[in-house]
Amino acid sequence: MKKLYFNGDFLPMTNEGDSFEALVVEDGVIAFTGTLEDARTFAADAEDVDLDGACLMPGIIDPHSHIAGSNQYVVAAQLENCKSFDEIVEAMRAFGEKNGIGPDSVIMGVSYDQNSLAEGKHPNRHVLDRVSTEIPCVAIHASSHMLVANTKLLELAGINAETVDPEGARYGREVDGVTPDGFCEEPNAMWPIFGQVQPRQKFDMDKMILQMQDVYLEHGITTCQEGATTADYAALFAGMAKKGLLKMDVVSYPMHGEDVDKILSDYAEFDSHDYTNHFRFGGLKMFFDGSPQGRTAWMTEPYAPGDEGEGYCGYGTISDDDAYDYMRKAIDGNHQLLAHTNGDAAADQYLRVYKRALEDSPNPNKHELHPVMVHCQTTRRDQYEQMPEIHMIPTIFTNHIWYWADVHLKNFGPERGSRVSAVRDALDFGLRPTFHTDCPVLRPNLFESVWCAVKRVTKNGVQLDESQKISVYEGLECITKNGAFQYGEEDRKGTLEVGKLADFCVVEHNPLKVDIDDLRDLKVLKTIKEGEIVWEA
């Protein structure tokens, strides 16, 4: 059945200023774009779809997030608005009571930020013991790079005074310097906690996966990512795909520390550039450092003085040798590599080691893999300058400008802090950057990501480095056509052109025609995947 879309703004994202009057879809693919008169001639038997003045644009492409983590919006207490330890305790206690959570389960809270708390520091196990001493409790930081467990959960995880800090991670300690205080920093310290939490969370995953997808679909996203895939997550999404439960395309990246060879072997039918029931593996994932707002991003110059002492620069999470081995696994196996890289010292390591691995690899297609630097909060101009020679793509967490740049100014000073999320530098070197929200760190509102990059204003009203500002159109490219390019799918997604998939986002107004401060709250009316409505307001 053909469908003819008309009576609206069409934003094809082919070139700035391009538009047309009508678009025809047939068999899930764009079959025609042009005048309404010609469209009616081309598809006289088509079903009319009146946009009623709304704007139809390409489906939004999420270049980095963790859809598996989006279940937190359903299964956890939301702590982002908590201003004190007391409010965290009350929110988690109320969530546990409302949901009848007992000792065989777990009370989880998400998205607390110590920078917003009256106490100005992370809670500890004693704070969460006020929620419960019998029920395991965990509060996860807004960055997802640290958490706090209560005493009961520490006991279940076997974390005690004899537990040593894992490589590239650490446990907080009491004043005696040995007894764990419940704080766990970076993934290697967090995994033992999650190993206890996940089996205790008993959910109907078939039902939950639909809710998790809606977190993305309500923002017009038609392609999203599982950007740190464990063996369990691989099994989950492969199973969902086989059941036909995925309404959007999900690209998965098995992560360093997992048996990635076994994951790719066990689910070989998904290790392809083509999707199988909307799921595929896109490559491999690794981490080089932590969070700038959590002061664990690895910097070449010190943070402002804090509890860590003078000269503290954060730290890396992997040795050059281990990084090289994993990069060779990716490149030799013809897989794209994604690497979490917030600090500029971490970016130096990524660039240095990847160049060596790329040079040593015998893969004849190695220059077509487009490795991705994820987050890029403090990436320097000279580092962006190096990316074209290795065909690297920066995906930039621009929302830091609004949500955390006030903290970055405090941590890094006015010069470094003011140039976080330096998108203009990336564009100056001919790169094709993308934007992300690292969901579930933030909900995947990529229109807000564009707004942040265009305005460059913090929550406290501070204007950051204006030389890094971009236009709205350049920002929209970063969430449509550049996203398709990052995934190697520019032949089928990212623009409204004949032959491409009918993946659409229908928004109330043309984002190029609204007041800039209305862009971040632009209302999505419909999300359409391959010609079918998969979400509607």
In a domain, 257, yes or no: yes
Q: Which residues contact 268 (CB under 8 A, 6 or more apart)?
A: none
Q: What is the CATH number of the domain that holds 46?
A: 2.30.40.10
In a domain, 345, yes or no: yes
Beta strands 221-229 and 249-254: pairing type? parallel
**181 and 233 fall within a common domain:** no
Measure the CA–CA gap between 113 and 93, rounded to whole angstroms.
18
**95 and 38 fall within a common domain:** no
Using CA of residue 124, residue 126, residue 127, residue 128, what is the dihedral sign?
positive
For the stretch 321-335, pLDDT in tens is 999 999 999 999 999
Instruction: Tell me the mean pLDDT in the region 227-247.
Output: 95
**163 and 277 fall within a common domain:** no
Q: Is the pLDDT of residue 183 over 90?
A: yes
In a domain, 265, yes or no: yes
Q: How many domains does the structure of the chain reveal?
A: 3
Instruction: Tell me the mean pLDDT in the region 255-278.
Output: 97
Cα angle, residue 385 at apex, residues 379 and 386 outer, rounded to 5°: 90
Distances (CA, A) of 12 to 23, 365, 446, 447, 535: 10, 31, 17, 16, 21
For residue 506, the model assigns a pLDDT of 98
Q: Is the pLDDT of residue 483 over 90?
A: yes
**40 and 102 fall within a common domain:** no
Q: For the full predicted model, state whether its pTM sits above 0.85.
A: yes
Instruction: Tell me the mean pLDDT in the region 356-365.
Output: 98
Instruction: Give the containing element (helix H, strand E) for 260.
Output: helix 260-266
For the stretch 276-302, pLDDT in tens is 999 999 999 999 999 999 899 999 999
Q: How far apart are the first and last CA of the chain?
A: 24
**118 and 8 fall within a common domain:** no
> Which pLDDT band, with edges at 50, 70 and 90, does 478 fall under?
very high
Q: Is the pLDDT of residue 52 over 90?
A: yes
Percentage above 70 pLDDT, the chain: 100
Q: What is the CATH number of the domain that holds 518?
A: 3.20.20.140
Q: Is the pLDDT of residue 209 over 90?
A: no
Structure tokens at 93: 């206690």
Distances (CA, A) of 450 to 417, 471, 516: 19, 9, 10
Residue 116 domain boundaries: 84-200
CA 219 to chain centre: 14
CB atoms within 10 A of CB 325: 14
Instruction: Tell me the mean pLDDT in the region 378-392.
Output: 98
Structure tokens at 343: 């600090």
CB atoms within 10 A of CB 512: 17
Lowest mean pLDDT among 97-101, 380-384, 401-405, 474-478: 97-101
**300 and 447 fall within a common domain:** yes
Measure the CA–CA gap between 69 and 446, rounded to whole angstroms.
17
Instruction: Tell me the mean pLDDT in the region 455-466.
Output: 98
For residue 394, the model assigns a pLDDT of 98
**218 and 160 fall within a common domain:** no
Lowest mean pLDDT among 59-63, 303-307, 357-361, 434-438: 303-307
Measure the CA–CA gap between 348 and 288, rounded to whole angstroms.
10
Measure the CA–CA gap between 414 and 418, rounded to whole angstroms.
6
**248 and 283 fall within a common domain:** yes
**36 and 97 fall within a common domain:** no
Q: What is the CATH number of the domain that holds 147?
A: 3.10.310.70
What are φ and ψ of residue 442, in 5° steps? -135, 155
Listed residues 200, 229, 263: the one ending a domain: 200
**370 and 278 fall within a common domain:** yes
CB atoms within 10 A of CB 199: 10
> Which pLDDT band, with edges at 50, 70 and 90, does 16 fall under?
very high
> Which pLDDT band, with edges at 50, 70 and 90, does 4 fall under?
very high
Using only C-alpha atoms, the chain has a radius of gyration, in whole angstroms, of: 23
**374 and 517 fall within a common domain:** yes
Measure the CA–CA gap between 298 and 302, rounded to whole angstroms.
9
Cα angle, residue 398 at apex, residues 17 and 348 outer, rounded to 5°: 115
**278 and 331 fall within a common domain:** yes
Contact, 300 vs 348, CB < 8 A?
A: yes
Distances (CA, A) of 482 to 16, 118, 219, 280, 347: 14, 41, 18, 19, 21
In a domain, 405, yes or no: yes
321: buried, middle or exposed (CB in 10 Å: 19+, 13-18, 0-12)?
A: exposed
> Which pLDDT band, with edges at 50, 70 and 90, does 199 fall under?
confident
Q: Is the pLDDT of residue 155 over 90?
A: yes
For residue 99, the model assigns a pLDDT of 87
In a domain, 73, yes or no: no
Measure the CA–CA gap between 75 and 421, rounded to whole angstroms.
31
In a domain, 77, yes or no: no
Listed residues 144, 166, 200: the one ending a domain: 200
Structure tokens at 256: 């360093």
Listed residues 157, 177, 200: the one ending a domain: 200
In a domain, 289, yes or no: yes
In a domain, 321, yes or no: yes
b/e for 9-41, b at 16 or more Cβ within 10 A? bbbbbbeeeeebbbbbbbeebbbbbeeeeebee
